[in-house]
Structure 1
């Protein structure tokens, strides 16, 4: 284990369980086909979308990402104060807890950003080249010596005015066992660039449970199995809570900044009234 590659105790068998109503096979297959088709369409549209003005591009990405989550049969609920959603002038580091592959389009549906992803994704067919074109920042999680270079890349993106999104827990956690601590490396980039940190809290629930295990993508789970759990889980809602930004320079070092961001995500006062609900 290193700073980029922590491990989680969550396993599919113990953590990825659905508590609630279940969809039948035919509706589930229809949702799966719709979600996959919309995802592929978005990937194919990356080159022309990059030609749009930044404000227009962000609106397109938000609407597409929201449509992707909804197409898999998941409702989206936004809570907290989104503040200014336009592209930040001085950069912004968005940090969130990590539960599922759904987290990526969920964050993009509210705060479009350059994502930080493991370097293996670059080699994935279709998705890899599209992610690279879209400005994804790739990190080599297995090489601790690559950490300074990765932080420098994050710093450069933030200093150039980009919004960058990272899941600093470094691994997915189902939510039933809390979550891993926020690793401080990415926060050093925010300090070096003088960029504020925007904490975001992600959760999934059904009518019967606050924590929806159906959305969890943990351990040695396969993407196919996770996709099927999601589309067969009726009544699944994804919640994203936007918390007040932590100003640049408000904490003396990266560890204190990481602890402050995680505290904002974890504490009960983060449960803010809903200001926007999408169905």
Structure 2
């Protein structure tokens, strides 16, 4: 990967940080969850363009979580986009732990997603991502392409569409891992759009869990099996107060503080 690229990424946590879920569900329950997930994804695919309808997409996202046996907890406020600011969308920035993050966030409020281009080539997930308006980027592109990409995303925000971005650019085993890349915050500054920091956290049996983490070169099938096998796995989504500003360095630092502060509070309370 080009070390000079603004989209270059940190190595993230090693795969050894992922723990097998304890306790696990019986094999019969695991089979039932796989069957439920297959049915849910088949139904979502059959919806075609209707999947982009916000209510439909939110319902299907929650159905995927339910099929996998993942509990869902949404903290106040109940929206990802910042209300009371008509005319622009919201740049939603969240920590990144798992492929499951996107599903959990869409279960709160369907927004457009900025994703690496490889996601568009994943079976089943890729076609579904394109149908719901995902914006794909090449993370290893040349720095000279950055102004154009920032301008394109700023235009999306100006048009009133909220966009979900993971500024860590790679997955980590916990909420506090990784720095926030500043480049994407320039889009909110240019568009005059609010930034909404969001914390995504996974717990099992009331304790922090890495069972959902998708790290390193792990195979997606192995990660899916681990998630489906986990008993009492829950995902929490907490949206924090919106941020405004014109300096991307300040916005990035403030967003990361909001996300990690919530993570630290949850750990202390456990």
Q: Structure 1 stretches (4+) deviating beyond 3 angstroms?
A: 83-89, 123-127, 268-272
In structure 2, relative to structure 1, the CA distance for the partners of 1:161 and 1:42 (3 Å cut) is same
In the alignment, which residue of structure 1 is the partner of 2:259?
A: 265
Task: Give the Cα separation in 2 of the matches to 1:26 and 1:165.
Answer: 36
Within 5 Å, give how 1:1-279 maps onto structure 2: 1=3, 2-12=5-15, 14-50=16-52, 57-82=53-78, 89-145=87-143, 146-175=145-174, 178-207=176-205, 209-210=207-208, 212-247=209-244, 249=245, 252-268=246-262
SS of 2:75's equivalent in the other structure is strand
Aligned length: 260
Per the normalisation by structure 2, the TM-score is 0.88
- Identify unmatched segments of 5+ residues in structure 2: none
- Identify unmatched segments of 5+ residues in structure 1: 51-56, 273-279
Paired residues of 1:99 and 1:172 also in contact (CA < 8 A): yes
In structure 2, relative to structure 1, the CA distance for the partners of 1:194 and 1:17 (3 Å cut) is same
Per the normalisation by structure 1, the TM-score is 0.85
Task: Give the Cα separation in 2 of the matches to 1:267 and 1:11.
Answer: 23
CA RMSD in angstroms, aligned pairs only = 2.3
Paired residues of 1:185 and 1:254 also in contact (CA < 8 A): yes
Deviation at residue 271 of structure 1 after TM alignment:
5.1
Paired residues of 1:78 and 1:241 also in contact (CA < 8 A): yes
